A = this chain, B = another copy of it.
Amino acid sequence: MTKKEKKDAKQRIYDAALSLFARKGYSAVGCREIAKTANVNISMICYYFGKKVDILKAIINECYDKYYHAVLNIGDENTPPQERVRLIVRKLVEFFRENTGLAMVAFNTLPIDIPEIVDLKIKWMSGKSKATIELYTQLGLDTNDVVKMNVIRGVLTTIILEHFQFRYARKHIMQVTHQSKYIREFLTQEIIPEYNDDFYEQYSEILAELYFHGLNSIVAHNSKP
């Protein structure tokens, strides 16, 4: 192996782990499986990353870093709210579309019992998106209304991530060699669209519409004091 190829070992481990974690979850994937998938010796994992959990941390850090760069400042106070929603939705869809596996690993609620992972996620959550806060203000939403904030907290991210998770899972199921009766039926009945740029342009438009009008409808809704 040339020097270039050697430098790739760390990346291959990272990519293998990412793919496996997305498919099976962190705990179900062992270091030997990662090493085998990456075509490296098992010791390379500790050599390049330290402990297994450090791979997960690297993935989470990459994901959140990308995420915040994608959505940090979308539009400004002069952007009309509806346009701003559209921009935010587009950015989010783009982000999750390009980083489906990454997002699946990093945004997964579990595990919630590994202290350093919980810490890491909470640290990242401190950097809230300025764009969404401004948007709420532009729309006249009372951000001190605890109930409303609970309803809308993370709604867009959740909906879009779930869409891509479902797509990812279905794609994986289609690749399985042995397909049971139910899976065959499921894949037969489902109309699977072509997930091209055109599809996602429309998807984003419709979702932005739904979200914007939904938000608007609750602006004047009076919660009890």
Contacts and interface: CB of A to CB of B under 8 A. Distances in A.
A201 to B, nearest CB: 9
A153 B126 contact: no
Nearest to A146: B193
Among A172, A185, A210: residue with most chain B CB under 10 A? A210
Interface string A197-225: 01100110111011111111110010110
Chain A interface main SS type:
helix
This chain's copy number in the assembly: 2
Given A108-B110, A154-B162, A178-B115, A126 B185 contact: yes
A173 interface: yes
A28 interface: yes
Given A150-B163, A173-B112, A209 B202 contact: no
A218 B206 contact: yes
Contact of A206 (B147, B158, B178, B193): B147
